[in-house]
């Protein structure tokens, strides 16, 4: 059993201020027994501001400070940040730090959809990523990745029983419904638990943001391998604490045959 906290926050423009949100979230989650603490995509700095000036490597000050928080509390922290790319763009990176890990997953599928063009400023990643903690294998994915079932099946093939999915979901008509359906569908596709941690809705917390940027809608969600909703948040800032049993993933895959019966 793994206890995981999803910290649904509103990230601001300033990485240092957002680091304080990470510290506070980790401290509260550890007090409740969490072993992994997950923050949204763009936890370092929200979308809607220039990203290149805040991008730092994984050994830079921001990621190193998060690593120190994780080490102090003996947890793994997963948080969205931006790292430099070689072509003048940045990479949309999930920092995974603590428990002997300090790695970054670069978002593979970029949000060139619904009138937004993430690839203008962000370079794509190329490789799925898993990590292990306490004998459990975790996969990671970021936001728009959730629309691509093959990634989640690949993570399951790599041994993952749980996928952590930070996001900063774009608002719009029907977008909440799509978010909820996609999270549950990817859990069914792969037999994995999917723990989706989104940015809180700025409107719900009285924060003014760039209206053209995907700055979050809230509604973080946890679904097991049967597609059942185990926990769900509202629109505002909130922390979900979930006990995840990886054995449920094996039961789901045996029942649905979603991996074993693939033909393509």
**Residues designated as active site:** 41, 107, 143
**What would the pLDDT profile of 15-60 be if each residue is shown by its tens digit?**
999 999 999 999 999 999 999 999 999 999 999 999 999 999 999 9
CA distance 82 to 197: 17
Q: What percent of the chain has pLDDT over 70?
A: 100
What is the distance between the alpha carbons of residues 109 and 106, in angstroms, rounded to a whole number?
Answer: 9
Distance CA 83, CA 86 (A): 10
Q: Which residue in 192, 208, 207 sits closest to 237, CA to CA?
A: 207
Classify residue 227: in a domain, yes or no.
yes
Domain membership of residue 179 (yes or no) is yes
Share of the chain above pLDDT 90, in %: 93
**What is the rounded CA–CA span in Å between residue 42 and residue 213?**
12
Does 262 reside within a domain? no
Residue 114 in domain: yes
- Secondary-structure percent of the chain, ordered helix, strand, coil, rounded to 5: 30, 30, 40
Q: What is the CATH number of the domain that holds 220?
A: 3.60.110.10
Q: What is the pTM of this model?
A: 0.97
Neighbours of 216 (CB within 10 A): 33
The verdict on residue 32 lying in a domain is yes
Q: Where are the beta strands (DSSP E) in 63-192?
A: 76-84, 90-98, 101-106, 112-113, 116-117, 122-123, 130-133, 136-140, 162-167
Structure tokens at 191: 């037999």
Q: Average pLDDT, stretch 162-173?
A: 96
pLDDT tens-digit profile of 233-251?
999 999 999 999 999 999 9
The answer to whether the CB of 161 falls within 8 A of the CB of 249 is yes
Task: Kindly state whether residue 263 falls inside one of the protein's structural domains.
Answer: no
CA distances from 114 to 85, 122, 170, 208, 251 (A): 24, 17, 9, 21, 37
172 C-beta neighbours (distance < 10 Å), count: 12
Task: Kindly list the distances between the CA atom of residue 170 and the CA atoms of 12, 61, 120, 165, 185, in Å, as whole numbers in the listed order.
Answer: 16, 29, 17, 15, 19
Q: What angle (nearest 5°) sits at the alpha carbon of residue 183, between those of residues 212 and 158? A: 115
pLDDT band at 264 (very low <50, low <70, confident <90, very high): confident
Radius of gyration of the chain (CA): 17
Does pLDDT of 212 surpass 90?
Answer: no
Q: Which domain covers residue 236, as residue numbers?
A: 2-256
Total domains in the fold of the chain: 1
How many Å apart are CA 207 and CA 203, to the nearest integer?
Answer: 6
139 has a pLDDT exceeding 90: yes
Q: Is the pLDDT of residue 211 over 90?
A: no
| Cα 97 from Cα 92, distance rounded (Å) | 16
């Amino acid at each position: 059993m793994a206890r995981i906290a999803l910290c649904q926050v509103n990230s601001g423009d300033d990485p240092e201020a957002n680091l304080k949100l990470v510290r506070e979230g980790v401290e509260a989650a550890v007090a409740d027994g969490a072993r992994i603490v997950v923050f949204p995509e763009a936890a370092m700095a929200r979308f809607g501001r220039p990203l290149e000036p805040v991008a730092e490597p994984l050994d830079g000050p921001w990621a190193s400070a998060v690593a120190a928080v994780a080490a102090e509390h003996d947890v793994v922290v997963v948080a969205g940040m931006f790292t430099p790319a070689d072509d003048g763009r940045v990479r949309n990176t999930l920092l995974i730090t603590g428990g002997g890990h300090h790695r970054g997953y670069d978002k593979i599928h970029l949000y060139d959809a619904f009138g937004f063009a993430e690839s203008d400023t962000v370079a794509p990643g190329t490789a799925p990523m898993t990590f292990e903690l306490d004998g459990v294998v975790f996969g990671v994915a970021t936001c728009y990745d959730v629309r691509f079932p093959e990634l989640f099946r690949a993570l399951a093939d790599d041994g993952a029983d749980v996928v952590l999915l930070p996001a900063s979901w774009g608002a719009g008509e029907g977008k909440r419904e799509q978010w909820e359906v996609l999270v549950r569908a990817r859990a069914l596709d792969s037999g994995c638990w999917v723990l989706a941690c989104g940015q809180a809705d700025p409107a719900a917390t009285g924060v003014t943001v760039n209206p053209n940027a995907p700055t979050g809608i809230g509604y973080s969600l946890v679904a097991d391998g049967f597609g059942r909703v185990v926990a769900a948040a509202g629109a505002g800032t909130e922390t979900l604490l979930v006990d995840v049993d990886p054995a449920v993933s094996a039961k789901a895959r045996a029942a649905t045959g979603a991996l074993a019966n693939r033909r393509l």
